[in-house]
Amino acid sequence: MSDKTQKIAVYALGAFMTFAGVSHMSFSREEFQAQVPNWIPFFSKDAVVLGSGVAEIGLGLGLLALPKKRREVGMALAAFYTAIFPGNIAQYAERRSAFGLDTDRKRFIRLLLQAPSSPQPYTPQGSPPKTRNYPPTTNNHNSGLAAAIGKAIVGGTTTTVLYS
């Protein structure tokens, strides 16, 4: 992935996350509540949706406004996506309709699209400029959506950190 393509992807993701956060707090609030599992303790579904909306706005704005903190924001975003994935599973398991996902088949296809997959398609050819290579890990099971997002934001492979 070229530097220009990477920057476009980061800004597009930042705009998407900011928009998604705003939608959590306004016009899609009830639909997002359908994704909150019944087993979430201590908080109402509305509080969870509002809190995740605030997190998405913060992460989106972080991607847009903090280019020197891209790695940290990217890692936080990957952790966020990992944390909310059980909500997508709950929507399927509890047969909740939202966002046009009104059949088990549609909900299952969504899970397949968001489930862990090989990171290879997301790995750019070669290393981006100004990189520092760390020793590779021995347990490299970095796959799935979180790893792909981290790679798109940070650049390179899982053992490469991009410095701006």
Q: What is the pLDDT of residues 129-139, one digit of tens each?
A: 444 554 554 44
pLDDT of 2 above 90: no
| Three-state SS letters, the chain | CCHHHHHHHHHHHHHHHHHHHHHHHCCCHHHHHCCCCCCCCCCCHHHHHHHHHHHHHHHHHHHHHCHHHHHHHHHHHHHHHHHHHHHHHHHHHCCCCECCECCHHHHHHHHHHHCCCCCHHHCCCCCCCCEEECCCCCCCCCCHHHHHHHHHHHCCCCCEEECC
Predicted local confidence at residue 35, as pLDDT: 84
More confident residue, 95 or 159: 95
Has this prediction a pTM greater than 0.85?
A: no
pLDDT in tens, 14-54: 999 999 999 999 999 998 888 888 888 888 999 999 999 99
Report which of residues 71 and 139 the model is more confident about.
Answer: 71
